Amino acid sequence: MPFTLPELPFAQEALEPFISAETLEYHYGKHHQAYVTNLNKLVEGTPDADKPLEDIILSAEGGLFNNAAQVWNHTFYWGGLKKGVSGPSGALADAINAECGSVDNVKQALAEAAATQFGSGWAWLVLENGKLKVTKTSNADLPMKHGQTALWTIDVWEHAYYIDTRNARPKYIRQVLDHLVNWDAVGTRYEAAK
Ligand code: MN3
């Protein structure tokens, strides 16, 4: 069965004014869709056509890996965004305070990783050997290729922010970290992974 573009977990206007509906029209409707379309072309008629997405990501290289990983990365990115979630709670909040000192420290580390990722890529909050860690990856690369469990990500490809903040990547990063982190989703992911 072909891979399909998962539905966005929010309305296209839901993240405004920080991420516009126009950005989502292109980023979700064109870019994410293109990765799905390309992935389907690459696996058609091959044994990968019937494999789960994560199996393809873990075994593939080159164009197949890039498209499969980008399908996963974008679905994961959307799932971590929501306007108006005040902050982490429960076990995630406890772990952040114990391991990182404060939520602000985590946000600062994510902002730095996202701003200093040279060229296209992603910054991540991951779980590695049971501990929280902030990382960054280039292009389509992602934590599962490195034995880590992703908890949250921010897309720093130019297509993620150029419509809204033009060349000002740090402004996009700051707005996402201050207003759009779905800490409830991060908490659920943490509970499932720890
Ligand atoms: Mn993107």
Q: Could you tell me the pTM of the whole model?
A: 0.98
The domain 90-193 is classified under which CATH number: 3.10.450.50, 2.60.120.10, 3.40.50.620, 3.55.40.20? 3.55.40.20
Q: Quote the ligand 1 centre to 172 CA distance (angstroms).
A: 13
Distance CA 101, CA 120 (A): 29
Q: Quote the ligand 1 centre to 86 CA distance (angstroms).
A: 25
Give the total residue count for the chain. 194
Please tell me the predicted confidence (pLDDT) of residue 156. 98
Q: Quote the ligand 1 centre to 157 CA distance (angstroms).
A: 6
Q: Which stretches of the chain score pLDDT less than 50?
A: none
Please state the CATH superfamily assignment of the domain spanning residues 21-79 in this structure: Fe,Mn superoxide dismutase (SOD) domain (1.10.287.990)
Identify the residue whose tokens are 């903040």: 165
Please tell me the predicted confidence (pLDDT) of residue 165. 97
CB contact at 8 A, 89 and 181:
no
Kind plus residue range of the DSSP H or E element containing 161: none
Please tell me the predicted confidence (pLDDT) of residue 118. 97
The interaxial angle of helices 62-79 and 33-43, nearest 10 deg, is: 140
Q: Quote the ligand 1 centre to 191 CA distance (angstroms).
A: 26
Please tell me the predicted confidence (pLDDT) of residue 8. 98
Please tell me the predicted confidence (pLDDT) of residue 175. 98
Please tell me the predicted confidence (pLDDT) of residue 64. 98
